[in-house]
Amino acid sequence: MSSTHDSKPIEVTSSAQFQTILQTNALVVADFYADWCGPCKAIKPIFEKASEELSHENVLAFIKVNTDTQKDIAQAYNVTSLPTFIYFRNGQITSRVKGADVQKLSGMLETIRGHFQEAIENPGGAAGGSSSSGATWRGAELPRGYTDITDQIEINRCELLNVESGPEGVRTLLDKSRPSALSGQKSATKDWVESDTDEQLMLFLPFQAMIKLHTLQITSLPPSDDDDDEAPMRPKTIKLFTNKSHNLGFDEAEDMSATQVIELSEKDWNPDGTANISLRYVKFQNINSLVLFVVDGDGDSEKVRLDRVRLVGEAGEKREMGKLEKIGDE
């Protein structure tokens, strides 16, 4: 197992260089620091030792980002504490450690070590066990500074009610692939879900850990036959509920006060059939589950169709203020 010739962490000098490193390495660990930060200096040897042991060209890169000289990068990734360590896998944020917490950083590095071993043993596959279909398809751009956290959903505990397609419906909605409807060709298998007895759907999504949810991306691609009254519709009214221990009943959800109610119209759907829904972020802090209730559809049909669901926000450990130094308002 050979490492790179220069096993010291790479000092990032521009946003372009940062993006190039993310694109050319399956695994990237970034240390956001400042020269004046005492805790940054204290934990530096652990990061540098890991870099010496694990750095490997085009597989695993250790990088350092000076938040005083690279403020745009720090802002883009919501770095508000020093030091902050962010682990990227296939270009996506997988985890972060805030503060000079030796135990948490060591845990992150142990996870990275396992992913690195997988990447070395299977160089033709995606690092860290990603599906063979490659990067996750999304129907809209990610908001600046946030990442796709759909992988935080605990799929085995999900539940989807009033769905026509059976128990695989949730996995269909969370599938990483591009919806077949966008290819203009009929799919051999149905890769979307439709409501069954009426237009309502109830989706329960529990999470592996607390998350902060910023944006909900919903893709709906019903057929464009205006003469077919039975063709499924896009959702119109959606009610969201947080921190429920189980799915809700339809009557219960109708009467219950929602965390947020969303009303969608035709202008909210982009050319890829996706509504990029910004949530009231303050109401979606530290949540452990989400119930998505499709109340009605935009039309006269008795069925609603959903193709994909993506969650965007931040998944990470709670800030421990006693161990962190605050960066300025930059």
Positions marked catalytic: 37, 40
- Structure tokens given for 214: 């910023």
C-alpha 19: how far from its chain's center? 18
Beta bridge partners, 161, equal 202
CA-to-CA distance for 239 and 259, rounded, in angstroms?
8
C-alpha 296: how far from its chain's center? 27
Dihedral over alpha carbons 125, 129, 133, 134 (to 10 degrees): -70
